[in-house]
Structure 1
Amino acid sequence: MTRTPQSDRRGGQTGRREFLALSGALGLASLAGCLDQLPGSGPKRIDGDAVADVASDEAPEIAETLPVDIGASFVAEQREIAREKLDSVPAPFDETQIPNGVIRERVNGEYEAAREAIRTSSDAGTAYERLDRATRARTSAHEVQLAWRSVEEDATVDDLRESRAAVADDVDALASRWEYVGDDPVRAAIVHAEVEREIRGARNWLSFRERELEYAAEQPLDFADVAVDIERARTSVAVASYYFDQFRGDLAREENQRERFETARNALRERIRTRGESLPDESEDPTSLVNRDVGRTAGVIALDDILRNARWRTEDRGDERDPPSLASATPTAAKTLVYLRAFEALRERIEDGDDVAVEEVEDVSELRTDAVDAISAARESDRNRLVVDALLPRFARELRWIDDRLSRSAADVPVDSAEWDASGYVVVAETCRAVAPVSTEVASVLREATDP
């Protein structure tokens, strides 16, 4: 979207920027500080209701998936566990059951959240999404159950200690039997990365300190917090075990992928290191990121946002600090490569003359349309679908968050404010455009990897 000069857009009238430049040339720079105080000369504003209408348009639905057969019976099992927990308590609670209003409100809120998650876990969506809702229902229901048991003094801190020890044993048992097997390195990397995520999550949920147990002994909400962390860990173990067993049982042949994953990880890190060396330093003035005289437009703001993500990711080595992480190194690298590619593409776009600016509602609409088109194009890509499906939701879902912000716009919105929010659409467009080519690159690295 190449912006035309203000003078052209306004039928030959001199814009504010041009007027300030002219007044400086005439020795009238002192006038500039007074312009915003003149009648009718304040910051330019646009129709917030129209902006909100733009943000209410339909957006592509991007499903979250995992290349594993997730049976309806397993989802139903998690849902039934949640129901049984809720059925064991007299919720929703009244003031005679839980006199403390803060505790009562919190527990009743979790009760409603669990019921809603149970309901939506049988609705439309992918099996992966339904399972996610069912497990959230399970953990919320457990929090309600244990909070009530704490109020009734029917559960103790010693019970929590025993539960934590038992779940920790389950995590260790899973880790000892789990192997990096697979018959296709791309599918294997995606599935094993998810198993790793669940195992790391379980260990993190169990990492609370003795001090937290001491607090739990005195306060039902603290008790429920610790109890639900243990239940989250227990659920993560159940899900990771299920994923691994389903994946392994579906293999045409078993090949150990560990060395291939190591080779791919090292190759992707080297690519990231090389490309990251060309990134400019972050700057307080994002307009300095492009070799062109341009203002702080939506495009420049987006460029700065993408740069910060790219630099943070090129410098981060979190996958080394928190094992298991060997398979996770591939999707982590892929996300970094998306930001690196998006930064270069957007910088080139601006330097080639596209300001990517917002001056009126139509500009916001164009930026959103561009983002929607980029999401749709990535979703419809017919190559390396497994990697695309793993990456795209992470970047595409940002659209909904930006829509939500803009849908709450006031009736009269400063252009600067609209431009700042609309810059998010630019980030979505450029990152989603990078998903397909990065997916091709990452899949090739995995398939071409040999022993280190």
Structure 2
Amino acid sequence: MRDGTPSTEGTHLTRRGLLAVAGASVLGGCSSLDGLASDSESTIRAYDLPDVDADSIPEPVVAPSVPVDIHPGYFASTRDRVTSLLAELPTPLGPDDVPNGHVRQRLTDAAAAATEGLDEARTARTGLVALQSLRDAREHARYAAAGWAVADRGLSVDPLQREHGRAVTDARSVRNDHEYVGTDPVAAALVHARIEDALEWVTDNDRPHTHNEGELLTVAEWGETAELARAYVADARHLDDRLTASLPDDAGTVEGVLTRAAESLFADIRSRRAALPPEPTAEDWGLVERTVHELRRQVDDPRQAGDAPGPASAVVDATDRLAKFRAFDRVRERVDAGEITSAESAEAVREARTTAYDALDTALEESPDSGLARTVVSDASWRVSHADRELSRFRGDISHGRLDSVLEDYIVATAVARATPAACQQTVDALETA
């Protein structure tokens, strides 16, 4: 499966929800909800807002992708791994198997999540999403299988810790031996960045997030951590193999190009960051202040090219940050022009939502490289998913201010999407001249 499906085609909402952007609406307070407007406030009827089906909100709206073919055999072997782990569990898992009801439910939930991950992979919009879903499925299946192995045969944590240690060693070895092969620097950056990120996850997460809930669940947590580490290493190797297989035999390295381009892009980022205006100073923050603050927070990041997992990740990250700098500037221009205000009508919300969706599509169409653009707008499109989720929860009469968090998400996503083509062009130019 080669990634590159249309940007905003729908998909069923999955179990992982919209946690990636949930914090974005904290400043707006609770958002859903029936009859929160006082009698004296002007209101908008939820009935008049865009009709969003909670069961068909894509997450994110623009699916992430990677510009290589993932071999069908690799998907098949990963599915087989999940099903073999699940086959170790008795079905159903009853009180005679695991007497503790809480523990039993944790294992049952993990097995269900693994099964759901298999289903998500089958309907995934891109190969990368399928890969991520199967990796999650492996993690959950191993949690359930390891936990059951404690009850069934007294499995201890020791072999799982050794297994995890071997995976970390493998990740470091793969990282040390990694060669940045490629002919197209942009495509190479997108693939190598995924490899860098996967390997860094393994080397940086040397222990599971245990919750001290007893021996069985501790072993289960070590099991899922070991399995996830193995999955990340395997995925990194497969992406590297598939990229290499797609290249001519005489393809050289693009490491120097990526490194020099990253340094050039981050030089611009440093200049832009040094010129950032101060935070909004209004005593009472409304939609304008929160929107400006959110974008300013995202660009006021001290990390440099050398802080990334590698030069490919640095190039991709720089593109994202440059898009957000441009988005920040554009939002400030709109604020100065008085164009950002709380929703005066349901139609204003509808227009903001439509504008956001159109901007995401346009960013992919007008960018010099749609794959590079997709890495930026996929992240930004989580905000559209989150705003849609909030809209689906409103009932009754809603005060205008209650819709500010929804508008903020649509406004920020629109601004980033509209800034993406120029940011991508800057990155393409930097790679061409590096």
Q: Distance in 1 between matches of 2:269 and 2:169?
A: 37
Match of 1:310 in 2: 299
CA 176–273 in structure 1, closer or farther in 2 if over 3 Å, else same: closer
C-alpha displacement of 1:219: 1.9
Match of 1:30 in 2: none
C-alpha displacement of 1:127: 1.8
Match of 2:40 among 42, 45, 55: 42
| Per-residue CA distance 1:357-407 (angstroms, 9 max, x = gap) | 311211111111111111121132262223112222111232111110121
SS in 2 for 1:46: strand
Q: Distance in 2 between matches of 1:197 and 1:443?
A: 21
Aligned residues: 394
CA 58–198 in structure 1, closer or farther in 2 if over 3 Å, else same: closer
Give aligned-pair identity as a percent: 25
CA 282–91 in structure 1, closer or farther in 2 if over 3 Å, else same: farther
Match of 2:252 in 1: 255
Match of 1:269 in 2: 266
Q: Does structure 2 conserve the Cα–Cα contact (< 8 Å) formed by 1:98 and 1:151?
A: yes
Q: What code does the residue aligned with 2:406 have?
A: D
Q: What code does the residue aligned with 1:346 have?
A: V
Q: Distance in 2 between matches of 1:297 and 1:165?
A: 49
C-alpha displacement of 1:142: 0.7
Residues 151-160 or 47-56, more deviating: 47-56
Match of 1:29 in 2: none
Q: Distance in 1 between matches of 2:354 and 2:309?
A: 40
| Per-residue CA distance 1:231-255 (angstroms, 9 max, x = gap) | 1111000000011111112212322
Q: Normalised by the size of structure 1, how large is the TM-score?
A: 0.81
Match of 1:108 in 2: 108
CA 298–199 in structure 1, closer or farther in 2 if over 3 Å, else same: same
Asked if residue 158 in structure 1 is aligned to residue 155 in structure 2, the reply is no
| Per-residue CA distance 1:394-446 (angstroms, 9 max, x = gap) | 11232111110121113121211112332211111111111111111111111
Q: Distance in 1 between matches of 2:142 and 2:275?
A: 50
Q: Distance in 2 between matches of 1:208 and 1:225?
A: 6
Q: Distance in 2 between matches of 1:166 and 1:331?
A: 30
* Higher RCO (CA-CA < 8 Å; seq separation 6+): 2
Q: Distance in 2 between matches of 1:384 and 1:58?
A: 26
Match of 1:282 among 261, 271, 279: 279
Match of 1:244 in 2: 240
| Per-residue CA distance 1:133-186 (angstroms, 9 max, x = gap) | 122111111111001011224311221232123222322331232112211211
Q: What code does the residue aligned with 1:308 have?
A: R
Q: Does structure 2 conserve the Cα–Cα contact (< 8 Å) formed by 1:297 and 1:358?
A: no
CA 120–355 in structure 1, closer or farther in 2 if over 3 Å, else same: closer
Q: Does structure 1 conserve the Cα–Cα contact (< 8 Å) formed by 2:118 and 2:133?
A: yes
Match of 1:397 among 376, 382, 385: 382
C-alpha displacement of 1:85: 0.6
Q: What code does the residue aligned with 1:42 have?
A: S
Q: Distance in 1 between matches of 2:128 and 2:407?
A: 31
Q: Does structure 1 conserve the Cα–Cα contact (< 8 Å) formed by 2:61 and 2:384?
A: no
Asked if residue 346 in structure 1 is aligned to residue 331 in structure 2, the reply is yes
CA 439–92 in structure 1, closer or farther in 2 if over 3 Å, else same: farther
Q: Does structure 2 conserve the Cα–Cα contact (< 8 Å) formed by 1:54 and 1:365?
A: no
Q: Does structure 1 conserve the Cα–Cα contact (< 8 Å) formed by 2:139 and 2:224?
A: yes
CA 92–114 in structure 1, closer or farther in 2 if over 3 Å, else same: farther
Match of 1:179 in 2: 179
Q: Distance in 2 between matches of 1:332 and 1:91?
A: 45
**1:163-242 paired onto structure 2 within 5 Å:** 163-207=163-207, 218-242=214-238
Q: Distance in 2 between matches of 1:363 and 1:300?
A: 19
Match of 2:120 in 1: 120
Structure 2 residue ranges without an equivalent (≥5): 1-37
**1:130-169 paired onto structure 2 within 5 Å:** 130-169=130-169
SS in 1 for 2:278: coil
Match of 1:386 in 2: 371
Match of 1:27 in 2: none
C-alpha displacement of 1:353: 3.7
Asked if residue 363 in structure 1 is aligned to residue 348 in structure 2, the reply is yes
Match of 2:409 in 1: 424
SS in 2 for 1:53: coil
Residues 133-142 or 40-49, more deviating: 40-49
Q: Does structure 1 conserve the Cα–Cα contact (< 8 Å) formed by 2:367 and 2:425?
A: no
Match of 1:37 in 2: none
CA 297–407 in structure 1, closer or farther in 2 if over 3 Å, else same: same
Q: Does structure 2 conserve the Cα–Cα contact (< 8 Å) formed by 1:50 and 1:361?
A: yes
CA 316–43 in structure 1, closer or farther in 2 if over 3 Å, else same: farther
Q: What code does the residue aligned with 2:382 have?
A: R
Q: Distance in 2 between matches of 1:233 and 1:263?
A: 31
Residues 183-192 or 232-241, more deviating: 183-192
Q: Distance in 2 between matches of 1:145 and 1:283?
A: 52
SS in 1 for 2:276: coil
SS in 2 for 1:339: helix
SS in 1 for 2:366: coil
Match of 2:25 in 1: none
Q: Does structure 2 conserve the Cα–Cα contact (< 8 Å) formed by 1:91 and 1:108?
A: no
SS in 2 for 1:63: coil
CA 320–224 in structure 1, closer or farther in 2 if over 3 Å, else same: farther
Q: Does structure 2 conserve the Cα–Cα contact (< 8 Å) formed by 1:52 and 1:408?
A: no
CA 54–155 in structure 1, closer or farther in 2 if over 3 Å, else same: closer
Q: Normalised by the size of structure 2, how large is the TM-score?
A: 0.84
| Per-residue CA distance 1:183-234 (angstroms, 9 max, x = gap) | 121111111111000101111233459xx69x58x42112111211111111
CA 125–362 in structure 1, closer or farther in 2 if over 3 Å, else same: same
Residues 300-309 or 180-189, more deviating: 300-309
Q: Distance in 2 between matches of 1:304 and 1:250?
A: 44
